[in-house]
Structure formats: C-alpha cells, structure tokens
C-alpha cells in the first residue's frame, strides 16, 4: 500500500560523473566542486545505477515517470553506460507506466551512434548553447580555454538528422513524432506541409531575453533550431 504522505510524483536528477566535465565554462558553479577533488575519476557505480533506475519509477504513483541525467557532462560515462541504464529501465518499468529518459549535454561528444541510440529510446535531449557563435564562445570553452561552438554544432547535426528521419517516416494517421499526441496529419503533417521538427536548445535564463529574439529565426548559425530558455545548464 502506498504511503499516503509520500508525493505522487517528483523529479530527481542523477549526475553520474558528479562535477566532472570536458568543458570549463566561465560561469559554471560546478568547477569549484571539481577542484575539491583534483584528478577525480568519480563515476556512478553499476550498483547505484541499477538502484536509481529501479527506485525512481517504484516510488512514483503516476503513469509517466522521468529518469533524468545531467552533469558535469553525462556523455563522459560512455554510450555503454546508457545502454545498461536503458536495460534497467525496461527491467523495472511498472505495468501501464511510461518512463521518459532525459539527458542534458553540452553536445561536444554527440555523434551518429549516440544520436541513433537517443532517438531509438525516445530520449528528451537538452543541448546547452548560449546563442550564436560570438555569444556561445564568450563563456563556454574547453579545458584549454578554446572555443567549442563548432564542436557543439557538429554534435547537433546528427541529432537533427535523426529528428528529420522520424518525420519523414510518419504516415498521415500515425501519431506525430513531436509527441503532441495528435495524428501526424493534424499536427506537423497538417495540410500536406512538411514542417521541420523542432530541436530544443537550452540557453542561460539570464540571457534569454536577449537571445530568443535574435536567434529564433536564425538561418545561418542555427538552421532549423528554435531556442528555449532553460534554468539548468550542463
């Protein structure tokens, strides 16, 4: 019997690499925590991973559960770690329950293999971008102090490719791949138009007012991207 005092739903975010990241952004408050343990290779153990993925849906009393992952930089764990996590999600999924995995990443390590996996398992993917090149590279740099905008864009391209392929395969009476719950013909396939899928990119909340107006219709640095303000960054 469920505990009457327990919340029906809640949100918990795992950080499998702790504060360890492959970038050194100027404003990142986790850098100080990483310096507390210089040279640390702290990683989430297999035992903790399985317990986390089991306990999150187990404690929920709603039909949709989110298993969220952030960092540091979670892709440093490697794709096999996430394949094992997906196996645990399937193992511990309760009947009539949907488990939505999410990941927030800086995008630097994304490639075709990563993006095929994320698409196959319907991950909600957040990519941290500060805006156009000059804004992004002003604060987001690697450990050597070098700009990373071009590497992030390389990571976004296979992600966009996977999104576009989902829309190409959608039949008129199929559920729309955007997740709206409507049929494709009533949503992104309306009136026979082939609309571009939306890729959501996280930008700093403090810059949202300046960024969204100038980049929502960006056609050079951000083709087919729409930016969405986000409070949490990787």
Query: Which residues of the chain fall below pLDDT 50?
Result: 191-234
Cβ neighbours of residue 48 closer than 8 Å, sequence gap 6 or more = none
In a 10 Å sphere around its CB, with 0-12 CB exposed, 13-18 middle and 19+ buried, how is residue 162 labelled? buried
Cβ neighbours, 10 Å, residue 72: 23
Q: Are 21 and 30 in contact (CB under 8 A)?
A: yes
| pLDDT tens for each residue of 35-82 | 676 666 678 999 999 999 999 999 998 999 999 999 889 999 999 999
Tokens 């492959």 label which residue? Answer: 22
In DSSP terms, which residues pair with 228 in a beta bridge?
A: 202
Provide the pLDDT for residue 37: 67
């Amino acid at each position: 019997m469920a505990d009457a005092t327990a919340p029906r739903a809640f949100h918990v975010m795992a950080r499998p690499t702790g504060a360890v990241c492959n970038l050194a952004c100027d404003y990142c408050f986790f850098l100080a925590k990483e310096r507390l343990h210089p040279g640390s290779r702290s990683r989430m153990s297999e035992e903790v991973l399985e317990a986390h993925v089991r306990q999150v849906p187990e404690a929920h009393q709603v039909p949709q559960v989110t298993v969220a992952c952030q960092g540091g930089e979670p892709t440093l764990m490697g794709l096999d770690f996430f394949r094992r996590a997906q196996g645990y999600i399937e193992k511990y999924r309760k009947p009539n329950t949907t488990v939505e995995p999410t990941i927030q990443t800086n995008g630097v390590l994304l490639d075709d293999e990563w993006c095929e996996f994320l698409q196959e398992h319907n991950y909600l993917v957040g990519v941290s971008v500060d805006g156009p090149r000059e804004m992004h590279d002003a604060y987001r740099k690697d450990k050597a102090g070098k700009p990373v905008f071009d590497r992030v864009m390389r990571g976004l391209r296979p992600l966009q490719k996977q999104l576009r392929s989902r829309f190409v395969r959608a039949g008129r009476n199929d559920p729309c791949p955007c997740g709206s719950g409507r049929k494709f013909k009533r949503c992104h396939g309306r009136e026979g138009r082939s609309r571009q899928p939306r890729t959501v990119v996280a930008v700093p909340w403090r810059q949202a007012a300046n960024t969204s107006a100038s980049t929502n219709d960006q056609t050079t640095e951000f083709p087919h991207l729409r930016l969405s303000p986000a409070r949490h960054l990787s």
